[in-house]
């Protein structure tokens, strides 16, 4: 038996201190090639490339897509036409049109959100600073006006005020019982440049490794690649866990209209959390839901009991839109990247 995510439950989630502590969904994924086929987890700046942990019982668990990566994939949802009016669109213009270096970036694409360096290098730097200061003192209203997704996905103003905003929506993908694969390749140039006399023979090039390396990079030499990371095979589940932290949501305070603000932020959080995952995570990692294993949302109580929740996404979007109208979404803003502000900020970092 499932409980509908109706107005009463939504209000309990947003404003009832005794309401559920979280909404949670677990979805099992498969490579598009099928169960047991290789796929490529995220790589990191570490010798082993993949983040694979071995548990006490010998189970090997691979991090397929991190919490931060998932948040950065989910947040640009609010750039789409259907959802763009639910949040203020803050656009930063940069570069010089005369030099052909001009462009623009949305704050929704900035990894640190309102705490990102790109915003500190604009006329909104003071507003961002004030919003973090206010949040640190218990008033999240200014942040909900300037960058509400910083409340949804979290932000840390590590370079200025030090204020941390916890994530309300958290998503991560891990694979269980994995075995690592390796791969090898051989690049063959289109022509035999050595036979044509364009490139010195191997013996001479071996003495000048710098030249040899440069020619290889330019595609003039045979280049072998052996024992590189070649993905993994999971004999256990590949699972995406999405959690909406309702305790963190209900701790958001504001000097006025706090309950309306929490309903608005909950609406954004649930739109993001229930949106279908873009299955193309990276080259070699195209994952889709396992059609044989249905995922479901559960409301988790403080006692640990779980209650299946039926989500009507269209109805949820309509409710979220109504809460945005009640709260009043701030106007869109377009600001310019300021090189002087950037250089001043760099000097602070140097000190």
Q: Give residue 222's pLDDT.
A: 84
Cβ neighbours around 42 below 10 Å, total: 17
Percentage of the chain modeled with pLDDT above 70: 99
> Binning pLDDT at 50, 70 and 90, where does residue 349 land?
low
Percent composition of the chain: helix, strand, coil (DSSP 3-state, to 5): 35, 25, 35
> Binning pLDDT at 50, 70 and 90, where does residue 351 land?
low
Q: Give the pLDDT mean for 157-176.
A: 96
Average per-residue pLDDT in the chain?
A: 94
Instruction: Examine the pLDDT at 16 and tell me if it is beyond 90.
Output: yes
User: Of 3, 1, 4, 2, which is closest to residue 312 (Cα–Cα)?
Assistant: 4
Q: Cα–Cα–Cα angle for 11, 14, 15, nearest 5°?
A: 80
Extract the tokens encoding 282. 């990276």
Q: Give the pLDDT mean for 278-287.
A: 95
User: Of 270, 272, 275, 268, which is closest to residue 329 (Cα–Cα)?
Assistant: 268
Q: Give residue 205's pLDDT.
A: 77
Identify whether the C-beta of residue 268 lies closer than 8 Å to the C-beta of residue 317: no
User: Which backbone phi and psi does 196 adopt, to 5 degrees?
Assistant: -80, -5
For the chain, which residues make up each domain, given as ranges?
3-177+235-342, 179-230
Instruction: Examine the pLDDT at 133 and tell me if it is beyond 80.
Output: yes
Q: Give the pLDDT mean for 83-95.
A: 96
User: Which backbone phi and psi does 31 adopt, to 5 degrees?
Assistant: -60, 150
Q: Give the pLDDT mean for 34-52.
A: 92
The DSSP string of 235-288 is SS-EEEEEEEEHHHHHT---SS-HHHHHHHHHHHHHHHHHSPPPSEEETTEEEE
Q: Between the ranges 148-152, 190-194, 229-233, where is the mean pLDDT highest?
A: 148-152
Q: Give residue 154's pLDDT.
A: 97
Of the listed ranges 53-62, 98-107, 126-135, 243-252, the least confidently predicted one is 98-107
Of the listed ranges 10-24, 28-42, 205-219, 329-343, the least confidently predicted one is 205-219
> Binning pLDDT at 50, 70 and 90, where does residue 65 land?
very high
């Amino acid at each position: 038996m499932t409980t509908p995510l109706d107005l009463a439950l939504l209000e309990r989630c947003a404003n009832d201190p005794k309401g559920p502590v979280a909404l949670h969904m677990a979805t099992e994924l498969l490579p598009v090639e099928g169960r047991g086929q290789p796929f490529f987890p995220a790589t990191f700046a570490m010798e082993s490339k993949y983040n694979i942990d071995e548990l006490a019982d010998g189970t090997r668990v691979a991090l397929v897509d991190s919490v931060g990566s998932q948040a950065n994939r989910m947040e640009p949802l609010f750039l789409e036409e259907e959802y763009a009016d639910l949040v203020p669109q803050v656009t930063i213009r940069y570069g010089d049109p005369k030099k052909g270096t001009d462009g623009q970036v949305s704050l929704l694409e900035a990894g640190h959100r309102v705490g990102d360096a790109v915003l500190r290098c604009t006329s909104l730097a003071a507003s961002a600073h004030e919003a973090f200061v206010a949040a640190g003192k218990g008033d999240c209203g200014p942040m909900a006006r300037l960058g509400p997704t910083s409340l949804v996905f979290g932000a840390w103003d590590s370079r200025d005020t030090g204020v941390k905003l916890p994530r309300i929506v958290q998503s991560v993908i891990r694979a269980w019982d994995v075995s690592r694969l390796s791969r090898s390749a051989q690049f063959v140039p289109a022509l035999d440049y050595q036979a044509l006399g364009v490139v010195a023979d191997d013996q001479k090039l071996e003495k000048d490794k710098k030249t040899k390396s440069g020619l290889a990079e330019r595609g003039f030499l045979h280049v072998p690649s052996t024992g590189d990371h070649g993905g993994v095979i999971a004999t256990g589940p590949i699972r995406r866990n999405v959690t909406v932290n309702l305790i963190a949501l209900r701790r958001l305070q504001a000097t006025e209209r706090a309950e309306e603000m929490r309903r608005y932020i909950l609406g954004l959080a649930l739109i993001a959390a229930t949106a279908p995952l873009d299955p193309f995570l990276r080259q070699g990692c195209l994952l889709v839901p396992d059609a044989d294993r249905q995922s479901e949302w559960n409301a988790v109580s403080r006692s640990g009991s779980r209650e299946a929740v039926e989500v009507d996404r269209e109805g949820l979007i309509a409710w979220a839109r109504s809460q945005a109208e009640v709260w009043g979404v701030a106007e869109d803003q377009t600001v310019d990247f300021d090189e002087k502000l950037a250089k001043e900020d760099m000097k602070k970092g140097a000190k």
